[in-house]
Amino acid sequence: MEVIIADRPENVLADIITDVVRSGPATLGLATGSSPVATYRELIRRHTDEGLSFADVRAVLLDEYVGLGPDHPQSYARFIREHLTDAIDIAEVYSPEGLSRDPDAAAASYDELIGKVGPVDVQILGIGANGHIGFNEPTSSLSSRTRVKTLTEQTRADNARFFDDRAEVPYHVITQGLGTIGEARRLALVATGVGKAAAVAAAVEGPLSAMCPASVLQWHRTATVIVDEAAASRLT
Ligand code: F6R
């Protein structure tokens, strides 16, 4: 695992993605939430100002809330359109079907779809304060596939900032599993701010353990953790 401490983590991650996008047809794994937003802004800038084209790129999202459709303001499908994909010329974007009447079946068919459009060339990841990636909360099986998961109360509280009322935060999500995520050719986790420092230290220097799902990056052949000084502050 490579750890990069940078003043502008978004530029480091945007460089990794740019290299892959320039090298030919590619599949990107996209995370939502705050962590990758600055990177997405930089990619949009490169598209607009420098002609970086995503015409040969397909993307798969990591996760979606159960019960929210793609036009719901807080759905991740809509988030990614607003923060990235509407502003670039990307060929195709796939996300789990949050509104499915059978979320378990929707999760299984999404896993299958990733198998078909993959392997993912670069999977972008954020990290939860409790060490989750995707919505694989602590105790998630290290070999898990895409499935329905229940959010912890901490994650619901952390995500409440995106909703008008905490009660509106869904309890369930469809998330790529840790095994599914691990099939990407490269994992690139970005974290900023002191609030992520303990989770980053556990992921990078703690034991490989289901109690810190992000520690699966230790096991991956090509994993990069990109952090600012604050998020790196608990690394030894
Ligand atoms: C979002 C996702 C989550 C977030 C994590 C950190 O698609 O998979 O794992 O990356 O909850 O969220 P932020 O970046 O909002 O702190």
**62-92 pLDDT per residue, tens:** 999 999 999 999 999 999 999 999 999 999 9
State residue 118's pLDDT score: 94
State residue 81's pLDDT score: 98
Q: What is the tally of structural domains in the chain?
A: 1
Enumerate residues lining ligand 1, CB below 6 A: 31-35, 62-63, 76, 126-128, 132-135
Q: What is the CATH number of the domain that holds 80?
A: 3.40.50.1360
* Ligand 1 closest atom vs CA 134: 8
Residue with CA nearest ligand 1 atom 2:
134
- The DSSP line for the chain is -EEEE-S-HHHHHHHHHHHHHHTSSEEEEE--SSTTHHHHHHHHHHHHHH----TTEEEEESEEETT--TTSTT-HHHHHHHHTGGGS--SEEE---TT-S-HHHHHHHHHHHHHHH---SEEEE---TTS-BTTB-TT--TT--SEEEEPPHHHHHHHGGGSSSGGGS-SEEEE--HHHHHTSS-EEEEE-SGGGHHHHHHHHHS-SBTTBGGGGGGGSSSEEEEE-TTTTTT--
Within a domain: 233 = no
State residue 165's pLDDT score: 93
Of 10, 42, 64, 132, the catalytic one is 132
Q: Is 132 a catalytic residue?
A: yes
State residue 8's pLDDT score: 98
* Ligand 1 closest atom vs CA 36: 14
113: domain range? 2-227
State residue 54's pLDDT score: 98
Residues of the chain with pLDDT under 50: none
State residue 66's pLDDT score: 98
Q: Is 130 a catalytic residue?
A: yes
